[in-house]
Amino acid sequence: MAWSVMGLCGESPNPGPSLGKGVACLCVPATQGNEELWVQSVLEMPKRRDILAIVLIVLPWTLLITVWHQSTIAPLLAVHKDDGGDSQRDLAAGLDSKEYCLSERDIVEVVRTEYVYTRPPPWSDTLPTIHVITPTYSRPVQKAELTRLANTLLHVPNLHWILVEDSQRRTPLITRLLRDTGLNYTHLNVETPRNYKLRGDMRDPRIPRGTMQRNLALRWLRETFNKNSSQPGIVYFADDDNTYSLELFEEMRSTRKVSVWPVAFVGGLRYESPHVNAAGKVYGWKTVFDPHRPFAIDMAGFAVNLRLILHRPQAYFKLRGVKGGYQESSLLRELVTLNDLEPRAANCTKILVWHTRTEKPVLVNEGKKGFTDPNVEI
Amino acid sequence: MKSLLFSRFLLLLPWVLIVIIVLDIDSSRAPLPARVPSGGGAGRGEPRSSAARPPPQRRPEAALPTIYAITPTYSRPVQKAELTRLANTFRQVARLHWILVEDAAARSELVTRFVAGAGLPCTHLHVPTPRRYKRPGLPRATEQRNAGLAWLRQRHQHLPPPQPGVLFFADDDNTYSLELFQEMRTTRKVSVWPVGLVGGRRYERPVVENGKVVGWYTGWRADRPFAIDMAGFAVSLQVILSHPKAVFKRRGSQPGMQESDFLKQITTVEELEPKANNCTKVLVWHTRTEKVNLANEPKYHLDTVTIEV
């Protein structure tokens, strides 16, 4: 407070009369140096007016500072200012022995991202494109699985979704779904040959599920992208029932050859992961189920640089004669050696992808002929 | 004279600045409870302008009603995965406030860390379910949903009506399409829509005639007053606040009657608003995640590092 008064006093050579409000210059005596005069004038000024004048000067500055403080924080917290006030209130007595804790600190931290809801994010010229290959087949939960996968993919910039149906023709359900998401997509289809010797609609059990579809996507990539083009890209195989965190996509974007990371809920374990030595190189696999496979890793646990795919045009997933769990090895051994693998996710210590599986829904009440209207799409 | 003017100017300067800033804050803050806008377009959260001098003719967009999602959750291996993909969906929705209620005596570290990095407005509560209620066949997550309701009521008790807002109950393993949120935002009282993969059928739905719900198309106990799943309705905040005693009940509640017992406290079948194109489109699916196979987890010789899954 003193400085503002001082400032005002400092400007005018004659403190008292020039201000016209009777502000007492408490700090700077009159330049005349006549101390008695100054003291006298101080005592003479009516006290009420002094106080009023000081308040009149101090008040706006304090208001200004608080308002300015608020206005810089307001854009971030405008929605949540109410939450801050809540933590102090006492809880309703009617709720016996229950404790509701409001994590106010968390709320403040969480609103870092100001989301502008245009989806997907705008295409960037500098980021490598992530080509996500998803094989899918028709079953009751198909649309639900693809919907929530799309909801995740819509957050990722520079993402190209290659959806390959296991069907004779491209189905309208998928066509509509892809169009409505707004994602950058390619819609392919190839039918796994059915084994007509078996009853019903059984596929040939010797071909692992999704193999032909993934191979078709690889072939499409090789036909679409020129080997010598400089467009950077990453290829990732994403099954439609897994769960992916957004961090995973950023980890894989910097892949030079093949990058790997842990996957949760595979091989009968909480997670499987590569063994990484102190030098940051992969030297083995932390699995219980057949750890001596060349690449004891799940489909969701690795990503390949597009250049590598294009430069090795003969590398595909083996269709037949593949033992359970060796599918990934059948592709990776044609592309890379163990030494070339790049560990991600903090040297393979963080879980960024979960191999969740969705329960088959109970549809007993449909009966043999089907009860619900088949035209209503689920 | 010059010094007089100068000092006068200096005195008035802070007041003028205050007036300008207050005007700016008022114009950039969301306006007071506005009428519920019809039909949601893709909600746009515009970056706030902190211009010192706001254009006087710019009226702020009618504020979208906030959607409150109450999600009960409990600890099991797939918990973090479920919450992650649910968060990925919710983050695509404008003005959604997530109320996460743990079935736990204390806040777990996993969920606390998750909430801190979730990327959307989130409230983290917890309330344990008494052991005697954890038998199969008994309704689940009752205490947690009630905790969410209590928090919401408490938060708004001092604010004047009308309060725009919509509340729905989001279980952490269901699947939600983004279109659903557009549909529920226009709820005036209680709105309903079909749910996929529930009741032993491909879908269940309210039967609609002339824009009103006249019956229930369901595979299980169609004689219930509200034969609908927890994921099949949304309630406007105003209705919740004006019925302060409406909670999910335990005593005397038969299995499968939770939704009915709750809804009959706050509304009637005639008042229900059908959404999703007169309840002919499925926008939410009652998916369930398989129990994880952990048969190979070692009892001894555990890993050297502890990794959260």
Question: Which of the residue ranges A204-213, B77-86, B153-162 has the most confident prediction, judged by mean pLDDT?
Answer: B77-86
By the CB < 8 Å criterion, does A152 face chain B?
A: yes
At A36 the pLDDT is: 57
Note whether residue B136 is domain-resident: yes
User: For residue B116, which residues of chain A lie inside 8 Å, CB to CB?
Assistant: 106, 109-110
H runs (alpha helix) in A133-239: 142-153, 172-181, 211-224
3-state secondary structure of B181: helix
At A90 the pLDDT is: 35
A76, A103, A85, A80: which is closest to B154 by C-alpha? A85
Helix A172-181 and helix A142-153, axial crossing angle in degrees, nearest 10? 20
By the CB < 8 Å criterion, does A270 face chain B?
A: yes
Q: How close is the nearest chain B Cα to the Cα of A320, in Å?
A: 27
Arithmetic mean of pLDDT over chain A: 77
At A67 the pLDDT is: 64
User: For residue B44, which residues of chain A lie inside 8 Å, CB to CB?
Assistant: 116-118
Note whether residue B163 is domain-resident: yes
Q: How close is the nearest chain B Cα to the Cα of A372, in Å?
A: 7
Confidence of residue A166 (pLDDT cuts 50, 70, 90): very high
Contact A286 B303 (CB under 8 A): yes
Which residue in the set A7, A144, A377 is minimally distant from B175, CB to CB? A144
pLDDT per residue as tens digits for the range A97-126: 333 344 433 333 333 344 445 578 889 999
Lowest mean pLDDT: which of A359-368, B94-103, B118-127, B146-155? Answer: A359-368
Whether the predicted pLDDT of B110 surpasses 50 = yes
A240 is in an annotated binding site: yes
Catalytic option among B102, B183, B259, B273: B259
Lowest mean pLDDT: which of A185-199, B48-62, B159-173? Answer: B48-62
Task: Round to whole Å and give the CA distance between A364 and B225.
Answer: 23
B217 is in an annotated binding site: no
Q: Choosing among A70, A73, A101, which should be mutated to test the B contact, i.e. which has the most B CBs within 10 A?
A: A101
At B6 the pLDDT is: 83
Contact B197 A141 (CB under 8 A): yes
| DSSP class of B269 | G
Note whether residue B279 is domain-resident: no
Helix B2-28 and helix A2-11, axial crossing angle in degrees, nearest 10? 140
β-strand pairing of A184-189 with A159-165: parallel
Its ipTM equals 0.76
3-state secondary structure of A92: coil
User: For residue A83, which residues of chain B lie inside 8 Å, CB to CB?
Assistant: 123, 155
Task: Round to whole Å and give the CA distance between A14 and B4.
Answer: 11
Question: Dihedral through CA A216, CA A221, CA A226, CA A229, nearest 10?
Answer: -160
B286 is in an annotated binding site: yes
Alpha carbon distances (Å) from A65 to A5, A74, B7, B24 = 17, 14, 21, 15
The answer to whether domain A127-354 has CATH 3.90.550.10 is yes
Contact A378 B280 (CB under 8 A): no
Query: Which phi and psi (to 5°) does residue B24 adopt?
Result: -65, -40
Confidence of residue A68 (pLDDT cuts 50, 70, 90): low
A209 is in an annotated binding site: yes
Please, are residues B191 and B184 in contact by the beta-carbon 8 Å criterion?
Answer: yes
AA identity, residue A113: T
B60, B122, B266, B224: which is closest to A103 by C-alpha? B122
B288 is in an annotated binding site: yes
Cα B236 versus chain centre, distance: 11
The residue behind tokens 């406007």 is B236
Note whether residue B43 is domain-resident: no
List of residues 6+ apart from B224 with CB closer than 8 A: B216, B256, B257, B260
Confidence of residue A155 (pLDDT cuts 50, 70, 90): very high
pLDDT per residue as tens digits for the range A46-64: 688 888 888 888 887 887 7
User: For residue A361, which residues of chain B lie inside 8 Å, CB to CB?
Assistant: 197, 286-288
Confidence of residue A88 (pLDDT cuts 50, 70, 90): very low
Q: Domain residues of chain A, as ranges? A: 3-72, 83-115, 127-354
Long-range contacts of A280-288 (CB under 8 A, 24+ apart): A280/A343, A280/A347, A281/A339, A281/A341, A281/A343, A282/A338, A282/A339, A282/A341, A282/A343, A283/A338, A286/B303, A288/B296, A288/B298
Please, are residues B91 and B84 in contact by the beta-carbon 8 Å criterion?
Answer: no
Q: How close is the nearest chain B Cα to the Cα of A40, in Å?
A: 23
By the CB < 8 Å criterion, does A10 face chain B?
A: no
Confidence of residue A156 (pLDDT cuts 50, 70, 90): very high
Task: Round to whole Å and give the CA distance between A69 and A330.
Answer: 61
Task: Round to whole Å and give the CA distance between A72 and A76.
Answer: 8
Active site residues of A: 328
Which residue in the set A11, A74, A362 is minimally distant from B200, CB to CB? A362
pTM exceeds cut of 0.95: no
Please, are residues B177 and B92 in contact by the beta-carbon 8 Å criterion?
Answer: no
Terminal CA-CA length for chain B: 76
Structural domain span for residue B145: 66-192+230-251+260-270
Residue B55's Cβ-side half-sphere holds a number of Cα atoms within 13 Å equal to 5
- % of chain A residues with pLDDT over 90: 50
User: For residue A117, which residues of chain B lie inside 8 Å, CB to CB?
Assistant: 42-45, 92-94
Contact B293 A18 (CB under 8 A): no
By the CB < 8 Å criterion, does A275 face chain B?
A: no
User: For residue B27, which residues of chain A lie inside 8 Å, CB to CB?
Assistant: none
Q: How many residues does chain B have?
A: 309
Q: How close is the nearest chain A Cα to the Cα of B94, in Å?
A: 7
Task: Round to whole Å and give the CA distance between B208 and B303.
Answer: 57
Q: CATH number for the domain including B111?
A: 3.90.550.10
B221 is in an annotated binding site: no
Number of domain units in chain B? 1
Query: Which phi and psi (to 5°) does residue A279 adopt?
Result: -80, 5
B74 is in an annotated binding site: yes
By the CB < 8 Å criterion, does A347 face chain B?
A: no
Written as six digits, the tokens of A366 are: 């449909």
User: For residue A176, which residues of chain B lie inside 8 Å, CB to CB?
Assistant: none
Note whether residue B237 is domain-resident: yes
